[in-house]
């Protein structure tokens, strides 16, 4: 992998997606291979059968190696599911230097204190540590506080967490498929690297990923992740509703979900689809109200995931959330003949490749910390 090859594995409930890319220039990726195969062993985004997940990853890797003519041994891995959560905490420390100049060591201590003050998170691990803002002697700091002078430093920090059991099972499945996990990213964070630009993240935007069995949302503002939530509903629920409503097979329902045949059929399908989307966007809207961002995100809504391909979903989301809406597409330059990478269902796998060498404002786990701890339990 000396050529600057980066590989992203998005292990979703319905599909395993792998993107193999080569970084040659800043903000440019050469896509060397994309492969998607049916997933197994996951439910609502979390592992219920490690062996089945390992088998699904192994089969997808084998196909990826075939089409790219590369050995896939290292990869960035996304983690999602209904047990992915985020919580805020504050930490305040006394500046250590006699001249009251804030140092990097002080910043780290404030963040550590915020973690210590976090409400008890039983059976959970921190995936990302994201400083939201700092204060020096009660005054808000624009940017980093290092070099400023004051007696007290305060940090408000967002912590993204996942269940230990799910995290360790997912890492183990990848390891058993002969993959060394370079780092793990929460799926919404990874996807944001692929489809959100700097301006959107600065002014305020909500990224909504409608997957098979879950819908995740991530709110970005002032360049950082502000909030994250996952709901146990997705496009598979829409498929089930169509099958029951029209008395047809699940296979037929899946096809009709994206391809209407007649105007009469369209009316019936629209009623069924919109009923479920109404449930999903109501949950999103309620979360935005909870964090005080309802109808207050200038960059609006960016939709990704397989559900983002539903016909007229942009209009429905716009009417429901009262925000501008667009379908997510890559914001970086891609060199490829593979047009499917433009599809919003590939945002997370592509984002893993983009995020591999990035990460301002967040701290993904490293092999020397969380991953090393999990690997110690592998056979």
H/E stretch holding 3 reads: none
CA separation for the pair 90, 224 (Å, rounded): 16
Instruction: Check pLDDT > 60 for residue 374.
Output: no
Instruction: Check pLDDT > 70 for residue 171.
Output: yes
**Which of 306, 314, 315 has its CA nearest to residue 347?**
306
Angle between helical axes of 187-195 and 347-355 (0-180°, round to 10): 80
CATH number of 85-163: 3.30.1490.110
Q: What percent of the chain has pLDDT over 90?
A: 81
CA separation for the pair 56, 41 (Å, rounded): 8
Q: What is the pLDDT of residue 370?
A: 52
Fold of the CATH domain 5-81+164-195+332-375: Nucleotidyltransferase; domain 5 (3.30.420)
Residue 152: partners with Cβ closer than 8 Å, 6 or more residues away:
92, 93, 94, 95, 136, 137, 138
Q: pTM for this structure? A: 0.91
Chain segment 102-149, per-residue pLDDT in tens: 999 999 999 999 999 998 888 999 999 999 999 999 999 988 999 999
Chain segment 330-349, per-residue pLDDT in tens: 999 999 988 899 999 999 99
Q: What is the pLDDT of residue 300?
A: 98
Q: Which residue has the tokens 């996952």?
A: 230
Where in the chain is CATH 3.30.1490.110? 85-163
Q: What is the pLDDT of residue 369?
A: 45
CA separation for the pair 324, 216 (Å, rounded): 18
Q: What is the pLDDT of residue 121?
A: 84
Q: What is the pLDDT of residue 361?
A: 33
Please state which of the four CATH numbers 3.40.50.261, 3.40.50.720, 3.30.420.40, 3.30.9.10 is assigned to the domain occupying 198-327: 3.30.420.40
Where in the chain is CATH 3.30.420.40? 5-81+164-195+332-375, 198-327
| Backbone torsions φ then ψ of 323, nearest 5 degrees | -140, 155
CA separation for the pair 316, 332 (Å, rounded): 27
Chain segment 64-96, per-residue pLDDT in tens: 999 999 999 999 999 998 889 999 999 999 999
CA separation for the pair 34, 60 (Å, rounded): 10
| Backbone torsions φ then ψ of 312, nearest 5 degrees | 65, 15
Beta bridge partners of 6: 21
The pLDDT of 229-241, averaged and rounded, is: 95
Chain segment 204-221, per-residue pLDDT in tens: 999 999 999 999 999 999
Chain segment 254-286, per-residue pLDDT in tens: 988 888 666 777 788 889 999 999 999 999 999
| Backbone torsions φ then ψ of 235, nearest 5 degrees | -70, -20
| Backbone torsions φ then ψ of 378, nearest 5 degrees | -80, 150
Average pLDDT, the chain: 91
* Dihedral-angle region of residue 261 (phi above 0 means left; psi in -120 to 50 means alpha; beta otherwise): alpha
Q: What is the pLDDT of residue 117?
A: 95
Q: What is the pLDDT of residue 86?
A: 95
Instruction: Check pLDDT > 60 for residue 238.
Output: yes
The mean-pLDDT minimum among 108-122, 165-179, 232-246, 352-366 falls in 352-366
CA separation for the pair 305, 371 (Å, rounded): 27
- CB 118 within 8 Å of CB 87: yes
What confidence tier does 200 reach under pLDDT thresholds 50, 70, 90?
very high
Angle between helical axes of 235-246 and 263-290 (0-180°, round to 10): 140
CA separation for the pair 45, 162 (Å, rounded): 11
Q: What is the pLDDT of residue 301?
A: 98
Q: What is the pLDDT of residue 270?
A: 87
CA separation for the pair 180, 199 (Å, rounded): 34
């Amino acid at each position: 992998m000396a050529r600057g090859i980066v590989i992203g594995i998005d292990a979703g409930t319905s599909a395993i997606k792998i993107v193999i890319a080569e970084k040659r220039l800043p903000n440019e990726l050469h896509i060397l291979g994309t492969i998607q195969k049916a997933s197994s062993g996951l439910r609502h985004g979390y592992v219920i059968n490690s062996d089945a997940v390992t088998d699904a990853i192994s089969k997808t890797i084998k196909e990826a190696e075939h089409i790219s003519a590369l050995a896939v041994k290292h990869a960035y891995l996304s983690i999602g599911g209904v047990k992915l959560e985020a919580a805020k905490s504050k930490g305040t420390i006394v500046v250590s230097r006699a001249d009251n100049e804030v140092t990097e060591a002080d910043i780290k201590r404030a963040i550590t204190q915020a973690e210590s003050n976090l409400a008890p998170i039983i059976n959970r691990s921190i995936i990302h540590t994201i400083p939201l803002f700092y204060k020096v002697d009660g005054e808000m700091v624009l940017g980093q506080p290092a070099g400023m002078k004051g007696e007290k430093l305060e940090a408000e920090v967002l912590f993204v967490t996942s269940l230990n059991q799910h995290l360790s099972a997912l890492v183990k499945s990848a390891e058993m498929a002969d993959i060394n996990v370079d780092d793990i990213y929460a799926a919404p964070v990874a996807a944001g690297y692929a489809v959100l630009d700097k301006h959107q993240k600065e002014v305020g935007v909500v990224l909504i990923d409608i997957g098979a069995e879950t819908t995740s949302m991530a709110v970005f503002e002032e360049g950082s992740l502000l909030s994250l939530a996952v709901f146990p509903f997705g496009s598979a629920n829409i498929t089930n509703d169509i099958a029951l409503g029209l008395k047809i097979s699940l296979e037929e329902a899946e096809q009709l979900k994206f391809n209407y045949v007649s105007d009469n059929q369209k009316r019936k399908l629209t009623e069924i689809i919109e009923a479920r989307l109404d449930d999903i966007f109501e949950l999103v809207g309620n979360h935005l109200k909870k964090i005080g961002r309802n109808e207050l995100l200038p960059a609006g809504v960016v939709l990704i995931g397989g559900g983002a391909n539903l016909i007229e979903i942009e209009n429905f989301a716009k009417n429901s959330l009262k925000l501008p809406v667009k379908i997510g597409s890559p914001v970086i330059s891609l060199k490829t003949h593979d047009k499917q990478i433009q599809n919003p269902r590939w945002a997370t796998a592509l984002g893993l490749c983009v995020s591999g060498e990035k990460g301002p404002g967040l701290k993904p786990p490293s092999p020397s910390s969380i991953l090393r701890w999990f690997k110690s339990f592998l056979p």
